Amino acid sequence: MMLIDGKQIAAETIDKVEQETARLIETKGVTPGLAVVIVGSDPASQVYVASKGRMARECGLNSFEHALPEDTSEADLLALVDKLNKDESVHGILVQMPLPDHLDAMKVIQTINPDKDVDGLTEVNVGRLVSGNLDRAFVPCTPAGCMVMIRKVLGDDLSGKNAVVVGRSILVGKPVANLLLHANATVTMAHSRTADLAAVCRTADILVAAVGRERMIKGDWIKPGATVIDVGINRISAPEKGEGKTRLVGDVDFAAASEVAHAITPVPGGVGPMTIAMLMANTLRAAYISVGAAAPDF
């Protein structure tokens, strides 16, 4: 069984971002800039934003962090996005989710310039992905990271492979299904209402689990020799570590699945590290595209 090491693959991706950033600065005099907007004081969001800023600076990118109070009006948030759209030193814009309830997240996302939409959530980028315009599309960071991992195991061409994606969110399920299709896999999208989900999963040479339910996918749902990408991050109680302690598990029963699978991602240490690495890669690509240069592949 091959353990797909997300930390190692993410480190390789970050190394490439650093090299290509230095090349862009040297050849074009342009430093990629990532602007992250956070509204309110959600603790998890603050941790994410801090880690994104830190990673951006490590890669040689400029990091612009905009922290707005919880009661920020929609008009003020949209005005900030508009300002960042027009700022030539900003190549990537990310509005950290979730937003406070009084703000319309979809409306805010759709006002981001698609060529700066490094989260890949504008309708323009969704359309570019679906239509196969991958040179211009910005793909959401988690699905992009999943594909880097799958290619590490199986190569670039997935012809003849059956892929099953469990989960249909716009953040992971739908984009990863489109990426698999573009790589020539035969793709089935499954979800909580799929009849006999276990039987569907057993057809998968590539299984991507993104449902958000702890260890829902059992070991006997895995086809022998399959490649399993577990996107789930679920926190469960861990009394063995002490009273009130918790630990993270995925959507796949890792212990049982690893007995059957050819390759599998752990949780934590699998898909998670890839997400932030691909955000850096997307920001770098946006900077290359902004000056009319061919963007590096990841």
Residue-wise pLDDT tens digits, 61-104: 999 999 999 999 999 999 999 999 999 999 999 999 999 999 99
For 265-288, how does the pLDDT look when each residue is reduced to its tens digit (9 = 90+)? 999 999 999 999 999 999 999 999
pLDDT reading at 239 higher than 90: no
Helices 43-58, 6-28: inter-axial angle, 10-degree rounding: 50
pLDDT reading at 112 higher than 90: yes
Peptide bond into 266 cis (omega under 30): no
Rounded Cα distance, 37 and 64, in Å: 8
For 12-49, how does the pLDDT look when each residue is reduced to its tens digit (9 = 90+)? 999 999 999 999 999 999 999 999 999 998 888 899 89
8 Å CB contact between 59 and 11: no
Decide: helix, strand or coil at residue 63. strand
Full-model pTM: 0.95
Q: Record the tokens describing residue 233, joined without a space.
A: 């991050």
Our answer to whether residue 46 is catalytic in this structure is no
**Amino acid code (one letter) for 261:** A
Q: Which of 298, 285, 272, 287 is nearest to 48 (CA)?
A: 272
Q: Phi/psi zone of residue 167: left (φ > 0), alpha (ψ -120 to 50 degrees), beta?
A: left
Rounded Cα distance, 133 and 112, in Å: 19
Q: Which residue has the tokens 């900003």?
A: 90
Our answer to whether residue 16 is catalytic in this structure is no
For 138-191, how does the pLDDT look when each residue is reduced to its tens digit (9 = 90+)? 999 999 999 999 999 999 999 999 999 999 999 999 999 999 999 999 999 999
Read off φ and ψ for residue 139, nearest 5 degrees.
-95, 135
Rounded Cα distance, 6 and 83, in Å: 35
- pLDDT of 8 reads 98
∠ CA 132-123-251, rounded to 5°: 80
Rounded Cα distance, 97 and 45, in Å: 7
8 Å CB contact between 267 and 231: no
pLDDT reading at 242 higher than 90: no
Q: Which of 73, 80, 104 is nearest to 94 (CA)?
A: 80
Q: Of 115, 117, 119, 251, which one is the catalytic site residue?
A: 119
Q: What structural domains does the chain harbor?
A: 29-113 (3.40.50.10860), 141-273 (3.40.50.720)
Query: Which residues lie closer than 8 Å to 118 by C-beta, 6 or more apart?
Result: 34, 91, 92, 93, 94, 138, 141, 279, 282, 283, 286
Q: Which of 157, 205, 198, 202 is nearest to 181 (CA)?
A: 157
- pLDDT of 192 reads 87
- pLDDT of 123 reads 97
Q: Phi/psi zone of residue 75: left (φ > 0), alpha (ψ -120 to 50 degrees), beta?
A: alpha
Q: Of 96, 115, 161, 253, which one is the catalytic site residue?
A: 96
Q: Record the tokens describing residue 37, joined without a space.
A: 């907007």
8 Å CB contact between 109 and 121: yes
Our answer to whether residue 117 is catalytic in this structure is no
**Amino acid code (one letter) for 144:** A
